[in-house]
Amino acid sequence: MVKTSIVKRDSYFIEWKISKENGETLYFKLTSPKANVWRLQSSYLEGEFDGCGAVQLLKMDFDEPLKEELLPIYIENQSIIPKIGNSVIEFNLTPFKFSLLSKEGKVKWIIEDISFDKNSITLTGALREEEFTYGLGQRFNGVNQRGKAVNIWSEDRWCQTEGNSYVPIPFFLSSEKYGIFINRYEYSFFDLGKESTDKWLITLKDAPLDLYIFTADSPKDILKDYAELSGFAPMPPEWSFGIFVSRHLRLKEFATVEGIKEMVKKMEENDLPWTVAIIEGWETYDTSTYEDLKKIVDELHQKGKKVLVYERCGRLDKKYWEEHNAKEEYFVKDKDGNTLIEEAPLFNPVDAPNKKLSCFLDLTNPKTLDWWQNYVWKRLLVDIGIDGAKIDFGEEFPENEDLRLFSGRSVKGMHHYHPVKYSTMMYKLYQKMRPEGGICWARGGGIGAQRYPYIWCGDQLREFRFLKAILSATLSSGLSGIPFMCHDLAGYMPTRNPAENDEQKVFIRGTELACFTTNMETHGTVPRPYDYPKEIVNIYRFYSKVHYALIPYLVEQALISCNTGVPLVRHLYIEFPEDKRVYSIEDEYMLGDGLLVAPVLEDSDKRDIYLPKGIWRELWSNKEFIGPCELIDYPAPLEIIPVFISSESHSNVLNKVIADIRDIKLEV
């Protein structure tokens, strides 16, 4: 038996408490920090609400304005009504019910119960019958998470689609036009209709509740409100929209000057354009290589190329401590003062069949930050001229109770906070120390991952099913506030099932998909673009050149993403929220506001396509279609990805880009 009662209220907030028979009491506070945004917080002590959730912590770290201005509210009977905004909270004490209503009185979202103990808080409520729920960060098993249970915990379930996310975000967007966000880095769990088809459940552990409810009338407005809270993505440099070339570190192909030069020669001989070399396999912190590193970086810069090194989210092996003047105090310690600590458990059988021991930078120590940025990385960025880094293994910070941080704060939440703070810090450093900006090509993180701003999709096999997973991850990330998601083109490891996956076909279908996304990157232990037969190389070359022709449009649309929070690669729901036909479509997307892309993600030369309302012109044939309409068995031979141009686009450069693309010829 529980009792709910009002504790305090005024024109800006209302506080209440829930008391159990055993004397345990939890206090709640409801405010409206912005029009169409509500914030619900909890505390075990009356009046002492933790105002420092995940987004506030990031703002403090990077000296951004922190204070939230509260909007006035008034209470009328059981309704809590904002002076500004489109929604109303209906609040019942006995029996407890917390309902989000539109101005017209339609129920959008309901909390029917709150339960708690000393370690966790659980909210439960109702889902509507035809409701779709999108987001929860990077999801490989589908964009719509309705009917699924999701752990908000980053981990490397190597080459898997179920339960895998390098960047989980406790935010989802509903087709009922609301968004829900748990503003904490600690572990949380979302059940969106798995256990009971018409119920949702959210559990947060080891932290007070800090729940934001977004109620704007469109998904674009909700995403903008979320970005205003959590941080807009910075605008990437123009060169970062090009083509990246990388190889798996174990191959050591880019571990020497000669290996890098061999790649440059092969790309030139085959007339394959590229922009950036990620020299994975080169020992980034081995100063004995820095003379050679400086030479190859200078040589590539003279060719107009950029160079990224590879590193593991701020780990510095002890064998390099002396040459970088490292001190014990710069690293996280266990209770006995050891700096070699066990990484979080992984599921990667190649890189981590057993737990690894690593030295993790203590990002709560100002001396660590100064030394790492202004000594270790100044040598790489200023003295050598590196243009950024591929930042791998952002899922490995442990949360063992015996770990000690310089600041004295708990390690709870550090599993997600550490990679976000680290990669954001490094991205800002690259902008400061590189004349044309720099980039993080990062894997892993949590709330605020859009601040880097590039996330790549991690590890996949070169199989058709993983093309679907890559697109799902990109779209779900975009619906979670991450506008720029990239991937290893068509997978970085060979197929395990060659009978069902012709790798040449998977490579080309992956090339076509990547062409019409943020950028293109070849990587892994699979054949390189120039290793294939001539006809495959020709198709790859064609789409490489198409991608370069697209860059002015990508830059234009990316700037919109950085100002609005709307992703560059968009689920159709974002552009057509009133068209229920698009809610379940997960194999088409909008690239910006002007191009509808329908990639072929299986071994086929045709596919069905749905075109929403509007006038559409097919990119390659210029044939016109009037939507809404469905194109059954639309022809899509291996060298063609169906793309349609919207007459509703507001782009200033799209017509010129389309003309340039049509001038590019595919060699037969």
- Residue-wise pLDDT for 76-134, tens only, equals 888 888 888 889 999 888 888 999 998 788 899 999 999 999 899 999 999 999 999 99
Between these two residues, 270 and 347, which has the higher pLDDT value? Answer: 270
C-beta of residue 558 within 8 angstroms of C-beta of residue 281: no
Q: Is the pLDDT of residue 352 over 90?
A: no
- CATH superfamily of this structure's domain 2-215: glycosyl hydrolase (family 31) (2.60.40.1760)
Angle at 580 between CA 137 and CA 592, to 5 degrees: 55
Of the listed ranges 90-104, 131-145, 429-443, 573-587, the least confidently predicted one is 90-104
C-beta of residue 57 within 8 angstroms of C-beta of residue 64: no
Q: Which residues pair with 357 in a beta bridge?
A: 342
pLDDT tier, 237 (very low <50, low <70, confident <90, very high otherwise): very high
* pLDDT for res 348: 72
pLDDT tier, 350 (very low <50, low <70, confident <90, very high otherwise): low
Domain boundaries in the chain?
A: 2-215
C-beta of residue 600 within 8 angstroms of C-beta of residue 467: no
Q: Is the pLDDT of residue 1 over 70?
A: no
* pLDDT for res 356: 83
Angle at 382 between CA 245 and CA 424, to 5 degrees: 65
- Residue-wise pLDDT for 516-551, tens only, equals 999 999 999 999 999 999 999 999 999 999 999 999
- Residue-wise pLDDT for 356-405, tens only, equals 899 999 999 999 999 999 999 999 999 999 999 999 999 999 998 899 99
Burial of 33 (0-12, 13-18, 19+ CB in 10 A): middle
If you average pLDDT over residues 252-267, what whole number do you get? 98
Q: Around 636, how many Cα atoms within 13 Å sit in the side-chain half-sphere? A: 27
pLDDT tier, 353 (very low <50, low <70, confident <90, very high otherwise): low
Annotate 462-486 with b (16+ C-beta within 10 A) or e (fewer): bbbbbbbbbbbbbbbbbbbbbbbbb
- Residue-wise pLDDT for 175-199, tens only, equals 999 999 999 999 999 999 999 999 9
pLDDT tier, 52 (very low <50, low <70, confident <90, very high otherwise): confident
> How does the average pLDDT of the chain come out, rounded?
95
Residue 476 to residue 192: CA distance in whole angstroms? 15
